[in-house]
């Protein structure tokens, strides 16, 4: 099952929003990124999708207070969607909530749509596999015993998206379930998990499971380090990806390669807690690790948005006199743009690449320089200071020192090549030493 279209009417702050997930060829697009400021409805859109796909069993766990889903001043809200099965068959589902409805009225009002989805789930639940992660996805606190019996007694479809709806929802402990998996199915069962973690966490490799200390050990530049002693950034990304891997392997225990299964993954603030170098690789990592998943995610980051292809990036912003959330597609391919071009595009709305201090200095200089009356002593002093600030600001075309060093090294390498640019004009040892200098200068 893949998403083809989702429509929201009077859902929370959103009056009307239509999300189209079809590519230019008409099939389901793999990636959709929603960009926007806080409070513009990005998270609401993701939660609405999760609620629509939940099914009858999971709905009570996720719904919360029904009236909270309805936009202020409206009597009801509607979430509708068009899905495509693995065979290309089209399915239409909808969820309507009227103000004052209880769970019984909601079930009665949406009986036909819920029954159709429930039948599809009971027939082939794994073809309607959905996972979602909200912004509260920190590692679970260490516990003295496994919580798997409690976890398995709940509704899997609600647990798979629980962090999107509750800040108190916990992730499955990567260490606990990895040890459980190895115990039940042997060390070979960890192969897919090992590959995924090695791709995800830079500068380290999954080493082994220390059964005595009940910890996962990683090989790092500092030697063998347990997961619990890695930095917060490593632990956070390992936590939600570990939970994701757990739910996939548990849902598809008979698959030799469960990561190749189909599904929909919803991620709110996909690059949360990540260093810029990780943000640049996250989309590629998820695409390679889960090659048959469809992804819908939100972001604030230009580094993440830059990884989008044609038709994959949308911005949600408040517009008009009523400041209603409005969806606008990005025209073009962000991945073919330089970062500053993306930041200066209407999607982000930055007017300048200067720092706030430099931008303020330019504004003061423009204002005081164009003043028709003589400047006061204080204004003259401020104008002089602002000129000093601007004199120290870097020029757009200025080359930073680290880049100058690399350019110099590249010129030296170029000088070692003969005219056709193929064979070194100096010894291989000399060329190797120059290349090594480049590596050590990074």
CATH number at residue 204: 3.40.50.300
Please state, in angstroms and rounded to a whole number, the distance separating the CA atoms of residues 116 and 274: 40
Mark whether 75 and 52 lie in a shared domain.
yes
Asked whether residue 57 is assigned to any structural domain, the reply reads: yes
Q: How far is CA 349 from the centre of its chain?
A: 21
Q: What is the dihedral of CA 235, 239, 240, 245, to 10 degrees?
A: 130
430 and 320: one domain? no
End-to-end alpha carbon distance in the chain: 45
DSSP string for 267-329: ETTTTTT--HHHHHHHHHHHHHHSTTEEEEEEE--HHHHTT--TT-EEEEEEETTTTEEEEEE
Whose tokens are 């390679």? That residue is 288
421 is a domain residue: yes
Q: Which domain holds residue 431?
A: 401-441
| Residues 387 and 412 grouped into a single domain | no
Cβ atoms of residues 226 and 235 within 8 Å? no
Identify the H or E element spanning 362: helix 356-369
Name the pTM for this structure: 0.79
Residue 441: per-residue pLDDT: 47
Q: What's the pLDDT at 222?
A: 85
Predicted local distance difference test score (pLDDT) of residue 147 = 47
Q: Is residue 349 domain-resident?
A: no
Residue 350 lies in a domain: no
Does 220 share its domain with 363?
A: no
pLDDT of residue 250: 80
144 shares its domain with 288 = yes
Per-residue pLDDT at 75: 95
User: Could you tell me the maximum CA-CA distance found in the chain, to the nearest angstrom?
Assistant: 84
Sheet containing 90-98, strands listed edge to edge, beginning at the edge strand earlier in sequence: 14-20, 2-11, 76-84, 90-98
Do residues 285 and 422 both lie within one domain?
no
Q: Please name the residue that has the structure tokens 């996962």.
A: 216
Q: Give CA–CA dist 261/264, Å, rounded.
A: 10
Q: Is residue 39 part of a domain?
A: yes
- Tens of pLDDT, residue by residue, the chain (442 residues): 789 999 999 999 999 999 999 988 888 899 999 988 777 889 999 999 999 998 888 898 899 999 999 999 999 999 999 988 777 788 899 999 999 999 999 999 999 888 888 877 766 556 678 999 998 876 666 554 444 444 544 677 888 899 999 888 888 888 888 888 777 777 777 777 787 777 767 678 888 888 888 888 889 888 889 888 887 777 777 888 888 888 888 888 777 777 888 889 999 998 877 777 777 878 888 888 889 999 999 988 888 888 888 889 998 888 888 888 888 888 878 888 888 777 777 777 677 777 888 888 888 888 988 888 888 888 889 888 988 888 888 776 666 666 666 667 767 766 766 555 555 555 555 545 555 554 554 4
Residues 297 and 433 both lie in one domain: no
Question: Are 328 and 370 part of one and the same domain?
Answer: no
Task: Tell me whether residue 336 is in a domain.
Answer: yes
Residue at 348 is within a domain:
no
Any idea what the Cα angle at residue 223 is, between residues 218 and 229, rounded to 5°?
55
90 and 150 co-located in one domain: yes
82 and 228 assigned to the same domain: yes
Q: Are residues 133 and 166 located together in one domain of the fold?
A: yes
Strand pairing of 14-20 and 2-11? antiparallel
Instruction: Specify the number of domains making up the chain.
Output: 3
Given a contact cutoff of 8 angstroms between Cβ atoms, the answer to whether 410 and 434 are in contact is no
Q: What is the pLDDT of residue 153?
A: 42
Residue 22 in any domain: the answer is yes
In a shared domain, residues 334 and 217: yes
> What's the pLDDT at 216?
86
């Amino acid at each position: 099952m893949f998403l083809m279209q989702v429509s929201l009417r009077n859902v929370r702050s959103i009056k009307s929003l239509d999300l189209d997930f079809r590519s230019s060829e008409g099939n389901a697009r793999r990636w959709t990124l929603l960009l926007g400021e806080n409070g513009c409805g990005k998270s609401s859109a993701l939660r609405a999708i999760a609620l629509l796909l939940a099914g009858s069993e999971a709905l009570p766990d996720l719904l919360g207070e029904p009236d909270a889903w309805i936009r202020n001043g409206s009597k009801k809200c509607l979430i509708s969607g068009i899905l495509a099965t693995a065979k290309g068959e089209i399915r239409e589902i909808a969820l309507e909530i009227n103000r004052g409805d209880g769970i019984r009225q909601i079930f009665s009002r949406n009986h036909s749509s819920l029954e159709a989805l429930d039948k599809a789930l009971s027939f082939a639940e794994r073809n309607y596999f959905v996972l979602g992660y909200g912004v509260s996805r920190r590692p679970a606190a260490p516990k003295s015993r496994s919580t798997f019996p409690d976890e398995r007694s709940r509704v899997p479809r609600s647990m798979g998206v629980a962090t999107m709806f509750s800040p108190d929802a916990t992730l499955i402990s990567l260490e606990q379930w990895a040890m459980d998996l190895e115990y039940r199915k042997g060390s070979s069962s960890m192969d897919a998990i090992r590959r995924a973690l090695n791709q995800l966490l830079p500068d380290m490799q999954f080493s082994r499971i220390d059964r005595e200390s009940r910890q996962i050990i990683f090989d790092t530049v500092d030697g063998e380090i347990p997961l619990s002693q890695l930095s917060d950034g490593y632990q956070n990304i390992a936590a939600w990806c570990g939970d994701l891997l757990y739910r996939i392997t548990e849902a598809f225990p008979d698959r030799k390669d469960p990561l190749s299964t189909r599904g929909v993954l919803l991620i709110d603030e996909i690059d949360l807690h990540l260093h810029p170098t990780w943000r640049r690789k996250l989309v590629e990592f998820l695409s390679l690790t889960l090659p048959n998943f469809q992804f819908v995610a939100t972001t604030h980051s230009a580094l993440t948005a830059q990884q989008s292809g044609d038709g994959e990036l949308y911005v949600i912003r408040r517009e008009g006199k009523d400041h209603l959330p409005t969806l606008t597609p990005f025209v073009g391919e962000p991945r073919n743009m330089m970062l500053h071009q993306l930041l200066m595009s209407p999607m982000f709305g930055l007017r300048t690449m200067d720092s706030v201090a430099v931008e303020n200095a330019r504004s003061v200089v423009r204002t005081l320089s164009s003043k028709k009356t003589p400047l006061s002593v204080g204004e003259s002093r401020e104008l002089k200071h602002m000129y000093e600030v601007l004199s120290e600001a870097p020029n757009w075309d200025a080359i930073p020192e680290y880049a100058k060093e690399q350019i110099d090294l590249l010129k030296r390498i170029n000088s070692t090549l003969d005219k056709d640019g193929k064979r070194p004009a100096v010894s291989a040892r000399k060329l190797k030493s120059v290349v090594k200098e480049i590596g050590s200068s990074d």
